[in-house]
């Protein structure tokens, strides 16, 4: 990192700090008991404890200051619940924390100020029984019919096995939004879709070919990840994290390991950080290739589908020969990595990067000159800059609509703190913008891989694990290929996991699809959906 970069970082961190102190001050003026804990338990995030009554007000004030709402989660701490929310401004993270009683926990909602908080709070209600008193849309979200509304699976008193019926009934009376009127009709789609895709339900209201309203219903692949994480040792948690969303196995494992390492006050060796970076950029590349190809396919352009698919397969095969797994599962472990890169493998990867860059250049010229692609992509699925900002859209969805936040650049962690991360962005907010942002990110990832290979430090691959103290907590934010992944872990008295919460970028971005689809043709929905490619599994947990 050069001097101007470090002074820029200092400035933005100072700005973050200012925002947080003035938030404290404003809460005090409104007679809300709030105090910063310094040093906080979740570095590098600032930590602010406040009384539950001020939860909604804190959201309102944070929103006025332009903070981005990134996540919220609860934890059963034995004698009650702890509720935390994560905010970000200028690359600095702030964790708000409040204590709630075990019986009838209730507090004001942040959803009136933050759109992204809506579903997350509904989920916290389903899983912990926390009541957000002024929530604008307090319907169930994660819960379908596998448990009843009086029981809450993430309470410690709820057994892992639960109380399932022999056959869980379908959630058939979910109160969907209705539209009435001449020539308005409804199209229910899913949970099982017509392709090789994850399950979820979309309820369209349409007039003719035009989408009047879209409501998503997710939660079909909720498989209890947070519950079964409890009691695992760090290695077992890393494996589970690698299966939060199979296409983001590197991203989620890295986030979970980073959170655990911070809880254990463990530094990983520089070589391990670089190898993690290389794995993460390779994951970005195979997913970018896959989505660029699939976007072509969704508008009937087979040429693009086969070309990008071919390039992707070559990289998957190289993953297998170099790292021993096509999707790179379980290569990152607590304390470091379990794979090394030989000089020979580094040469192969360099050559692959050169040849992929050359192929991409050739494909880009062809795609750019293709009027049928342009016709289908341009102006389709608009997410205006203001809408993306209001949501706090992350990753390429945000970056195609002017939201340039990238954890690698704005809140860098090793190895990115030593690399020259270039963040691609567009302002048009349509499918075309998302397509070309992905293309640019792919090229940026190739550059990063070359930089990391050229500068790969020598030394150990991992640091021996050291058991954290009882109650130790860790927070991590990493830039997965879909965008910012936020992760929280805490440990029990035996050095095992007490709580694991992974916030996939899809959790934030999914609501954008409801807006993106509006006023588009129903047959354009697949390409709108693909241009976001949010994860169902990463969302549903």
Partner 1 sequence: MLSLYGKIFRTGTLTERVPRPVRDEAVEREGEKLKAIVGKRFQGSLAIRQVDAGSCNGCELEIHALNNVYYDIERFGVHFVASPRHADVLLVTGPVSRHMQAPLKRVYEATADPKWVIAVGDCAACGGEFGVSYASCGAVANVLPVDGVIPGCPPMPIDLLRGLLALFSPRR
Give me the residues that bind partner 1 (CB under 8 A), please: 144-147, 153, 158-164, 167-171, 191-192, 194-199, 219-225, 227-228, 239-240, 243-247, 249, 290, 303, 306-307, 309-310, 312-313, 316, 320, 326-327, 329, 362-363, 365-366, 369-370, 535-537, 540
Q: Which is nearer to partner 1, 5 or 368 (CB)?
A: 368
Rounded-to-5 percentages of helix, strand, coil across the chain:
45, 15, 40
Q: Which is nearer to partner 1, 163 or 210 (CB)?
A: 163
Beta-ladder partners of 189: 202
Q: What's 400-441 look like in SS3?
A: CCCCCCCHHHHCCCCCHHHCCCCCCCCCCCCHHHHHHHHHHH
The conformation of residue 462, written as its DSSP 8-state character, comes to B
**Given CA atoms 10, 12, 18, 24 in this order, what sign does their dihedral have?**
negative
- Shortest distance (Å) from residue 35 CB to partner 1: 37
Q: Which is nearer to partner 1, 182 or 196 (CB)?
A: 196
Q: Which is nearer to partner 1, 165 or 182 (CB)?
A: 165
- Shortest distance (Å) from residue 153 CB to partner 1: 5
Contacts of 535 (CB under 8 A, 6+ apart): 198, 245, 247, 248, 482, 504, 506
- Shortest distance (Å) from residue 306 CB to partner 1: 6
Q: Burial code of 48-64, b = ≥16 C-beta within 10 A, e = fewer? A: bbbebebbbbbbbbbbe
What H or E segment, with its residue span, contains residue 347?
helix 343-368
- Shortest distance (Å) from residue 366 CB to partner 1: 5
Residue 149: burial class (beta carbons within 10 Å; 0-12, 13-18, 19+): exposed
Q: Which is nearer to partner 1, 308 or 405 (CB)?
A: 308
Whole-number Å distance between alpha carbons of 381 and 527: 8
Q: Which is nearer to partner 1, 7 or 172 (CB)?
A: 172
Beta-ladder partners of 85: 72, 96
Strands 336-337 and 332-333, sheet pairing: antiparallel
Q: Which is nearer to partner 1, 54 or 293 (CB)?
A: 293
- Shortest distance (Å) from residue 464 CB to partner 1: 25
Whole-number Å distance between alpha carbons of 23 and 235: 38
- Shortest distance (Å) from residue 485 CB to partner 1: 15
Q: Which is nearer to partner 1, 88 or 247 (CB)?
A: 247
- Shortest distance (Å) from residue 142 CB to partner 1: 9
Q: Which is nearer to partner 1, 363 or 407 (CB)?
A: 363
- Shortest distance (Å) from residue 119 CB to partner 1: 16
Q: Which is nearer to partner 1, 226 or 451 (CB)?
A: 226
- Shortest distance (Å) from residue 150 CB to partner 1: 14
Give the count of beta carbons closer than 10 Å to the beta carbon of residue 364.
Answer: 15
Whole-number Å distance between alpha carbons of 209 and 319: 43
In this structure, what token pair is assigned to residue 531? 């241009």
Q: Which is nearer to partner 1, 361 or 471 (CB)?
A: 361
The conformation of residue 246, written as its DSSP 8-state character, comes to G
Q: Which is nearer to partner 1, 114 or 158 (CB)?
A: 158
In contact, 380 and 431? CB cutoff 8 Å: yes
Angle at 516 between CA 512 and CA 518, to 5 degrees: 125
Peptide bond into 380 cis (omega under 30): no
Q: Burial code of 119-129, b = ≥16 C-beta within 10 A, e = fewer? A: bbbbbbbbbbb
- Shortest distance (Å) from residue 201 CB to partner 1: 10
- Shortest distance (Å) from residue 304 CB to partner 1: 10
What H or E segment, with its residue span, contains residue 442?
helix 431-454
The conformation of residue 443, written as its DSSP 8-state character, comes to H
- Shortest distance (Å) from residue 164 CB to partner 1: 6
- Shortest distance (Å) from residue 483 CB to partner 1: 16
Q: Which is nearer to partner 1, 228 or 348 (CB)?
A: 228
- Centroid of chain to Cα 201: 20
In this structure, what token pair is assigned to residue 92? 């600095």
Whole-number Å distance between alpha carbons of 321 and 345: 9
């Amino acid at each position: 990192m050069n001097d101007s970069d470090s002074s820029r970082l200092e400035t933005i961190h100072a700005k973050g700090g200012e925002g947080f102190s003035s938030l404290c001050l404003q809460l005090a003026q409104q007679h809300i008991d709030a105090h910063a804990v310094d040093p906080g338990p979740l570095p590098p995030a600032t930590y602010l404890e406040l009384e539950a009554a001020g939860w909604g007000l804190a959201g309102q004030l944070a929103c006025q200051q332009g903070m981005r709402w990134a996540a919220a989660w609860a934890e059963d701490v034995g004698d009650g619940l702890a509720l935390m929310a994560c905010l970000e401004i200028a690359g600095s993270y702030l964790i708000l924390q409040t204590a709630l009683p075990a019986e009838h926990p209730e507090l004001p909602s942040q959803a009136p100020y933050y759109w992204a908080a809506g579903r997350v709070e509904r989920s916290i209600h389903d899983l912990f029984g926390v009541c957000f008193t002024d929530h604008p849309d307090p319907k169930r979200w994660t819960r379908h019919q596998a448990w009843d509304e009086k029981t809450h699976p993430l309470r410690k008193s709820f057994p892992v096995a639960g109380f399932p019926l022999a056959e869980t009934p379908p959630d058939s009376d979910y109160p969907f939004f209705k539209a009435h009127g001449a020539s308005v009709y409804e199209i229910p789609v899913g949970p099982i879709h017509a392709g090789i895709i994850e399950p979820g339900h979309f309820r369209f209201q349409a007039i003719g070919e035009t989408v009047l309203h879209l409501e998503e219903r997710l939660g079909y692949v909720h498989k209890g990840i947070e519950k079964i994480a409890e009691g695992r040792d760090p290695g077992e948690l890393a494996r589970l994290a690698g299966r939060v969303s199979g296409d983001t196995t590197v991203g989620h494992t890295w986030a979970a390991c980073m959170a655990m390492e911070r809880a254990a006050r463990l530094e990983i060796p520089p070589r391990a950080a670089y190898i993690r970076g290389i794995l993460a950029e390779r994951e970005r590349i195979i997913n970018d290739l896959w989505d660029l190809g699939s976007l072509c396919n969704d508008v009937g352009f087979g040429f693009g589908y086969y070309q990008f698919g071919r390039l992707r397969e070559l990289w998957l095969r190289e993953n297998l020969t170099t790292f021993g797994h096509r999707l790179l599962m379980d290569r990152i472990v607590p304390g470091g990595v379990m794979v090394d890169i030989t000089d020979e493998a580094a040469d192969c990867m360099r050559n692959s990067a050169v040849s992929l860059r050359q192929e991409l250049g050739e494909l880009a010229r062809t795609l750019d000159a293709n009027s049928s692609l342009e016709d289908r992509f341009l102006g389709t699925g608009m997410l205006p800059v203001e809408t993306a900002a209001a949501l706090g859209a992350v990753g390429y969805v945000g970056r195609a609509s002017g939201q340039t936040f990238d954890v690698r650049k704005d809140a860098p962690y090793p190895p990115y703190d030593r690399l020259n991360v270039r963040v691609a962005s567009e302002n048009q907010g349509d499918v075309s913008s998302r397509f070309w942002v992905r293309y640019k990110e792919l090229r940026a990832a190739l550059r990063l891989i070359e930089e990391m290979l050229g500068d790969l430090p020598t030394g150990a691959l991992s640091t021996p694990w050291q058991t954290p103290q009882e109650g130790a907590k860790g927070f991590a934010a990493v830039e997965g290929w879909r965008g910012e992944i936020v992760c929280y872990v805490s440990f029990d008295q035996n050095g095992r996991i007490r709580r694991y919460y992974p916030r996939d970028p899809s959790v934030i971005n999914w609501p954008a699809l409801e807006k993106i689809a509006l006023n588009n043709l129903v047959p354009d929905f697949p390409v709108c959906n693909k241009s976001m490619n949010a994860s169902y599994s990463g969302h549903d947990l």
